[in-house]
Amino acid sequence: MEKITVYQKPTCTTCRQVYAALKESAVDFDAVNYYVDPISKSKLKELLKKMKISAEELLRKKEDIYKTLKLADKKLSDDELIDLMAKHPDLIQRPIVEKGNKAILARPAERLKEIL
């Protein structure tokens, strides 16, 4: 069985729901608090590829840092957005659940079924 990795912020409600659902399912998984263990740029690129979404789609637009950096007013490339996400983890939508060659953004938490 392929190992599941959850990239999360432990204080996030959706992250806690996904964590609880995985525990209930007795699934073997690793939880990565990406505020403590940042996701590298190369890993972000890999996760985006596995999720089949753009960096723009992974961007959290309701965060203060998004407003502070005035990202709504800028047209940035995926590479530029990935650089910003690596530097400012608040810009990353969460939780991201990875299993083998597939990954999903588990928002809402019910999407977890897609990868189990």
Lookup: tokens for 53 = 């979404």
The DSSP secondary-structure symbol of 31 reads E
**Helix or strand (DSSP H, E) at 7:** strand 4-8
**Helix or strand (DSSP H, E) at 104:** strand 102-105
Choice among 12, 27, 31, 115 that is catalytic = 12
State the CB neighbour count (10 A cutoff) for residue 111. 15
For tokens 């990565």, the residue is: 32
Active site residue 15: no
Task: Output the CA angle 74-75-77, nearest 5 degrees.
Answer: 130
- The residues annotated as belonging to the active site are 12
